[in-house]
Amino acid sequence: MITKLDAIQSLCPKAQFVAGGGGKELTIVQWHSAEITQPTEAEIDAEVIRLQAEYDSQEYARNRQAEYPTWQDQLDDIFHNGIDGWKATLQVTKDKYPK
């Protein structure tokens, strides 16, 4: 789950601040970066939504990565079954988790 802290760090990666609370209740208590404009609650909330959508859109990639064979096993597959055999092995996972 994307938090408000993630959103603030995304909007202002070099900002220094003190936050209180946590998760959805997080608030900026003190903003220590005068040269960086403090984001509004609306900007933070919009960034949480954007980051969550981006994260959700990559679920297939995370699932594929977890199921793909190690690179060592993939090289062994190529050695024993050729490129076409290796592609067929990976295609099973790609079909299971389409884009």
pTM to 2 decimals? 0.76
Asked whether residue 22 carries a pLDDT value surpassing 80, the answer given is no
Structural domains in the chain (count): 2
pLDDT at 25: 85
Both 20 and 50 in a single domain?
yes
Both 45 and 75 in a single domain?
no
Domain range enclosing 85: 59-96
Nearest alpha-carbon partner for 44 in 92, 95, 6: 6
Both 53 and 63 in a single domain?
no
What percent of the chain shows pLDDT beyond 90? Answer: 92
- For 34-38, which contacts have Cβ atoms below 8 Å and span 24 or more sequence positions? 36/12, 37/12, 38/12
Both 44 and 83 in a single domain?
no
Both 51 and 76 in a single domain?
no
Higher pLDDT, 21 or 86: 86
Both 16 and 53 in a single domain?
yes
DSSP per residue, 9-33 = HHH-TT--EEEES-GGG-EEEEE--
CATH number for position 34? 3.30.56
Least confident of 21-25, 83-87, 90-94: 21-25
Both 20 and 35 in a single domain?
yes
